[in-house]
């Protein structure tokens, strides 16, 4: 009997629910992404700006 099976990663999580922060694709992490890094993407730059502002203000990031 051959059935459909959801592949899981090493820690037992469903790989289909993992979202890449680089290309926003589903099923892999940013460190495993084959797409060029988003260094000039507006969303990436906005996120980096907010992180820098919070660090400068002394706000603890979770």
Domain boundaries, the chain: 1-62
Distance (Å, whole) CA 46 – CA 38 = 12
Question: Which one is predicted more confidently, 4 or 27?
Answer: 27
pTM over 0.75: no
Taking the CA atoms of residue 25, residue 50, residue 40 and residue 23 in that order, the dihedral angle to the nearest 10 degrees is 0
Instruction: Supply the pLDDT for residue 3.
Output: 46
- Structure confidence by residue, pLDDT tens digits, 16-59: 688 888 888 888 888 898 887 666 778 888 888 998 898 888 87
Instruction: Supply the pLDDT for residue 42.
Output: 83
1 pLDDT band, cuts 50/70/90, is: very low
């Amino acid at each position: 009997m051959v059935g459909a099976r959801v592949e899981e990663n090493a820690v037992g999580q469903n790989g289909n629910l993992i979202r890449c922060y680089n290309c926003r694709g589903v099923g892999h992490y940013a460190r495993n992404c084959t797409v060029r890094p988003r260094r000039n993407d507006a969303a990436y730059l906005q996120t980096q700006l907010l992180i820098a502002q919070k660090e400068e203000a002394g706000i603890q990031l979770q």
